[in-house]
Structure 1
């Protein structure tokens, strides 16, 4: 379905606002292959809102994550501060000249998304400018709340629920955390290249692992049993988060369940691939193949069509 048909379904008629949502949709299509595929399973009228939420998150994440594009840390910090200013002004006035923030504000107003979720997200993104290690899980959990749990909470009103929203929020937050922990495991090598370790240092140390060993494994491409053991423990934590989130699938609006269930299965598949690679994620990046994504998505697409 074209972007125009989605916008028509969502009753977004203002030309400037339609252009803003198209920009967010393009960001989603460009950067989030698995996530974008899953959004195709949503009812058309809800897709623009998810694109707006993802587009904003992707934009901000790129500011702090693209560390090899010639910008200094000070320049990235200044860009993030500028976005924070635009967001604050938009939340205060209800409007913005920036297309991504304009679409975000429109979505927030339509679905009653609390501004605190966006503020918490920005706080975690600012941590990425200066924090490179997390001593304990509690330290990392504070980051993950803003970088992932609140994303689940932002999207939940768009998805809709069969129970009061508050009852579904814990599982939505858990699913955001599960997806984030999966990304940490998939991207541990790339994050290390950026100077970051999103794994609790004390838990790594329990397996005899420190940053130096991770750097050595990344540089040499050689696996180490201590690293395998440490990553296996983190895979187990991610699987616990998926188990905590799974009951939440049943209380989503039936029209949204195929989308979330597909994302649930595809992201969970990444953990399977990490295990199948014997936890060797420092010399390569595991990814779900396009064929596998389609195998999972096509039955869900049929269910989604029936639910509509």
Structure 2
């Protein structure tokens, strides 16, 4: 099914709003390939809302990464991000946006009743990336991950229609953290180039590893043991998240199960590379992605047949449009 057909299935008809969702889809398909593949396993009418959540998060992340080399005046970097964040936050509060990405993100939040507190927590963690380069303890890192990852799982939860949202919240949070820890393990080298380290300093000290060793790309036995420990920690979070899949609506389970299997597969690749993460980036092969996706697609199609697609209890709000070029970047860099 085409992207425009998915918008039709979701009942999204406003031309400017459709352009916003399609722009979010472009970002999702380009930068979040594993997540995007999993999104194709959801009923078509719910895919656009996942595009919007990803698009908003990606724009914030890109803005922070552009500024996040920790170079240049800190005040100027923070001012630029605050201008963007303040504008987007006001749009969520108002329930309407003229921003290229914000329009779809606000519409999604309104349609599915996503609390604004999740957006606040996410923006707080993005702010941290402007100034915080290390995390002394795992507790400190966990506080950061609440906004950068756990709330993404919580934002997704209404779209996945669990029978008991309260019970499903903790597994959703755990899965967000598992995905984030997997990112941290895979991207150690890239993050160090940006001046950041998302491995707790207490872990480095426990294994006798220094940040300088990591920055030099040295794959010592101690570094290997450190990364093996991080991989096991991530797998523990996947285990904590596992009961949540059965709590979801049947038409959501294949997508989340496939995303979990594919993303956890990155850890298998890291292990297969003898935990070398400083000089290479672990990837799940195309063959594995196709095998997982094909089996999940068959299961998903069976579930779709009896599925209602959109939240009948929520009335889709009207969203303000703009005559500006929808393909242009906003003044905030979104």
TM bracket, shorter-chain basis? over 0.9
- Paired with 2:150 and 2:70, the residues of 1 have a C-alpha distance of 31
Q: Secondary structure at the match of 1:285?
A: coil
**Structure 1 residue 99: deviation in Å?**
2.1
Alignment match, 1:134: 135
How much does 1:94 deviate?
1.1
Q: Is residue 2:221 matched to residue 1:225?
A: yes
Corresponding residue for residue 267 of structure 1 = 263
Whether the 8 Å CA contact 2:70–2:194 is kept in 1: the answer is: no
Answer whether contact 2:70 2:195 (CA < 8 A) is retained. no
Counterpart pick for 1:239 among 235, 240, 248 = 235
The residue that corresponds to 1:165 in the other structure is: 165
Map 1:50-129; keep pairs closer than 5 Å. 50-66=50-66, 72=72, 74=74, 76-129=77-130
Q: Which residue of 2 aligns with 1:152?
A: 153
The residue that corresponds to 2:247 in the other structure is 251
Tell me which of the two structures has the higher relative contact order, counting C-alpha pairs closer than 8 angstroms and 6 or more residues apart.
2
Superposition TM-score, scaled by structure 1 size = 0.95
Output the TM-score relative to the length of structure 2.
0.88
**1:66 to partner: Cα distance:** 3.3
Q: Output aligned runs, 1:288-303, within 5 Å.
A: 288-303=284-299
What is the CA–CA distance in structure 2 between the aligned matches of 1:100 and 1:72, rounded to whole Å? 27
Task: Give the structure with the higher percent helix.
Answer: 1
The 1:200–1:69 alpha-carbon spacing in structure 2 relative to 1, beyond 3 Å, is: closer
| C-alpha separation in 2, matches of 1:144 and 1:197 | 13
Aligned residues: 303
Return the offset for 1:77.
2.8
Distance 1:41 1:76, change over 3 A: farther
In structure 2, relative to structure 1, the CA distance for the partners of 1:132 and 1:4 (3 Å cut) is same
CA RMSD between the two structures? 1.6
Q: Compute the displacement of 1:91 (Å).
A: 2.0
- 3-state SS of 1:300 partner: helix
Alpha-carbon shift at residue 306 of structure 1 (Å): 1.1
Shift of 1:105: 0.8
Matches within 5 A, 1:24-63: 24-63=24-63
Gaps of 5+ in 2: 305-334
Q: Return the alpha-carbon distance in structure 1 between the equivalents of residues 157 and 25 of structure 2.
A: 18
Counterpart contact for 2:168–2:244, Cα < 8 Å: yes
SS at match of 2:274: coil
Match of 2:273 in 1: 277
Q: Is the 8 A contact 1:73 1:129 kept in 2?
A: no
Runs of 4+ deviating beyond 3 Å: 66-76
- 1:121 counterpart SS class: helix
Partners of 1:215 and 1:164 in 2: how far apart? 45
For the pair 1:5 / 2:23, whether they are aligned, the reply is no
Match of 1:16 in 2: 16
Unaligned runs of 5+ in 1: none
